[in-house]
Amino acid sequence: MSCSTISKQKFLWVTETAVGVGAARTASTASTVSAMSAAVSAGATAMFLMATPTHAHNNQVKISVEGGQRCIVSNGLPNHRTGSFPNRGNPNRISKQNVHLCVTTSPSKGRRPQWVGGSIGVGINGIQFRPTTADYYDARSRRGFSRNARSGWNLDGLGARNQLGMDSNNAHVDNRGLYHYHGVANALVRSGKGSLIGWAADGFEIHYLGSKRRSGYALKRGTRGSAPGGKYDGTYVQDWKYVGGSKNLDECNGGRLNGNFVYFATETFPFLPHCLWGNVSRDFERPGRRNRKFSGVIRKSDRQQPRLGRTAFIRRGPPEEARVACQGKSSGMRCSFTNRHRNHQITGSCRTVRGGISVCVPVRGALVRP
């Protein structure tokens, strides 16, 4: 096992090596030099994240590897200055959290990606990556957006950064007080050595290489077919389409680095992965919903095969997973997505609905399969 310990001003991270993991080693501010020497002599690598004495928050994080799991324990406070919260676009105040997230150290890439809402990973400083939002265009709302998804126009965190009160590190705060990143955090990149900035919820590494890696998404041409109207300018997730390309990243911002599959943070949409190729750790479920979201465990109630009502699907509006499943696909093409509430796979075909949005619509009478 290898561990890292953060004090108020310094962060020593001792990683495992490719040839094996030795006994646990920890370090504190007073013994960083001797700990680093011990780590290097043992064959490990070390990286320091330095925070100035005047940083705004008391960052604390511990990273350990044991039993095939990499665990990140954090107080949810960053190791760098942040913007002012609350602010005009964000009414929430940063507060200390109890973060404990574990991911596999041996991730496996599946045949199909799965859409992930909420946190998709965690940074080396213990701050979570949460690129998506739960906000949609809503003409009836005073702010112009709300949690009502009926319009189908989902605000992108950075495309609508001013409305959502992002700071200079592309982060803001949710209603629990959790400070989190929606894109590349310049302070996080500067604080580390190398390109590694964190790990995805399926265990694969997340790297940042600037312009050396390009997203496969492009803005749609023309204007939106329904309210809010206007040109496709990146304010909404639906303003983008995946076009691919041999030199671009895949639809989950995945690609190769030194022969290994990893995810990348990019300067353009989607900024961070919105979907993942491996098995998502259950630790990334929302509190109080364990075994319901992204769980590999099928409960007795999940073994039933309920029919998915098309009327209910249309009345409530398609879920975000259904939209992602048809990104870059033509109308009529087969599609599938995972129901994130019950961990069921749903099959159907791509159809264009009101507003010109392409979504995966379940075939009539289709069974929801666990």
Residue pair 325/349 in contact by the 8 Å Cβ criterion:
no
Residue pair 85/94 in contact by the 8 Å Cβ criterion:
yes
What is the rounded CA–CA span in Å between residue 290 and residue 191? Answer: 33
What is the rounded CA–CA span in Å between residue 259 and residue 220? Answer: 32
Q: What is this structure's pTM?
A: 0.69
Rounded to the nearest 5 percent, the helix, strand and coil shares of the chain are 15, 30, 55
Q: How many CB atoms lie within 10 A of CB 330?
A: 9
Give the CA count within 13 Å in the CB-facing half-sphere of 309. 6
The tokens for 57 are 């928050």
DSSP letters, 260-329, are EEEEEE-SSTTSS-SEESSPPPGGGSPTT-TTTSS-S---GGGGS--B--HHHHHHH---HHHHHTTTT-
What pairs with residue 48 in β-bridges? 12
pLDDT by 10s per residue, the chain, length 370: 433 333 333 344 433 333 233 233 333 323 333 333 333 333 333 333 332 333 468 999 999 999 999 999 999 999 999 999 999 999 999 999 999 999 999 999 999 999 998 999 999 999 999 999 999 999 999 999 999 999 999 999 999 999 999 999 999 999 999 999 999 999 999 887 799 999 999 999 999 999 999 999 999 999 999 999 999 999 999 999 999 999 999 999 999 999 999 999 999 999 999 999 999 999 997 654 333 333 222 223 333 333 334 444 444 457 777 877 887 676 777 888 876 555 567 888 888 775 567 788 887 544 334 3
Matching residue, tokens 């290898």: 2
What is the rounded CA–CA span in Å between residue 207 and residue 212? Answer: 11
Residue pair 152/319 in contact by the 8 Å Cβ criterion:
no
Length of the chain equals 370
